[in-house]
Amino acid sequence: MSLLSVKNISKNFGALKVTNDLSFNLKEGEAIGVLGPNGAGKTTLFNLISGDLKPDSGDILLNGNSILSLGAADRCLEGFGRTYQVPHPFEGMSVFENVFVGAVYGNNHSEKEAEELALNVLEQTGLINKAEALAGSLSLLERKRLELAKALSTQPKILLLDEIAGGLTEHEVHDLIELIQNIRKNGVSIIWIEHIVHALLSVVDRIIAINFGEMLIQGDPQIVMNSPEVKEVYMGIEIE
């Protein structure tokens, strides 16, 4: 059985079909990349999975059970974690406090357990030396790391990453890839939206390509990248 099953989900904003009859499965321990041009509906797909939005039709199953009736907070408790494309940490709180909040509320942990977990996550994401810094003072790379740390603080089984490598230098992207590979090794299943294709290719087992809210093609990364469908959509567009 799949860990996550997205079944024929659709979402319209007024006349705009943003998600159109999308279906795919995620197996336990698997990592999937999501590719598609700006406005293709990638972030909306995450909003539908995380419970920030409800689909107009279709179903989303976790271990075979529909989660559509659950809101975002309950889906978090069921094991969904996500990063946001535009990080919005609590700027006036320290880095530690930002992660601590997730560790307390995302797991129903005691304060003591949450503190330990938050420190572990800060260590793992390379932010331990910034624990006392205000979140609002961080560099872009540190903000991306904090976004990841906040998502990890809820100990997700399924981690949704929305353009976590965007805007970073090549060297920074390399470090981030290693970090995500380590998270995978700890058994977390991952869905990663990313325009930086080489980063995706070094982590994921499969790629889903969407355009205008519809599935263009899904499957083996090399086959998807070399497909006429993907080449046509990206023709003339620099994606690497």
Positions in the binding site for ligand ATP (CB under 6 A): 13, 16, 18, 36, 38-44, 85
Per CB under 5 A, contacts with Mg ion among 75-104 are 85
* Nearest distance, CB of residue 65 and Mg ion, angstroms: 28
> Measured between alpha carbons, how far is residue 14 from residues 11, 17, 18, 40, 56 in Å?
9, 8, 10, 16, 11
How long, in residues, is the chain? Answer: 240
Cβ-based neighbour number of residue 180 at 10 Å: 24
180 DSSP β-pair partners: none
48 or 127, CB closer to Mg ion? 48
Nearer to ligand ATP, 99 or 173 (CB): 173
Q: Is residue 230 within 8 Å of 219, Cβ to Cβ?
A: no
Three-class SS state of 37: coil
Among 7, 149, 147, 141, which Cα is nearest to 64's? 7
Report the partner that residue 18 touches, choosing among Mg ion, ligand ATP, none (CB closer than 5 to 8 A by kind): ligand ATP
If binding is defined by CB under 5 A, does position 211 make contact with Mg ion? no
Q: For the segment 39-68, give every residue that binds Mg ion (CB under 5 A).
A: 42-43
Nearer to Mg ion by C-beta: 104 or 180? 180
Distance in Å, CB of 19 to ligand ATP, minimum: 8
Q: Which residues bind Mg ion (CB under 5 A)?
A: 42-43, 85
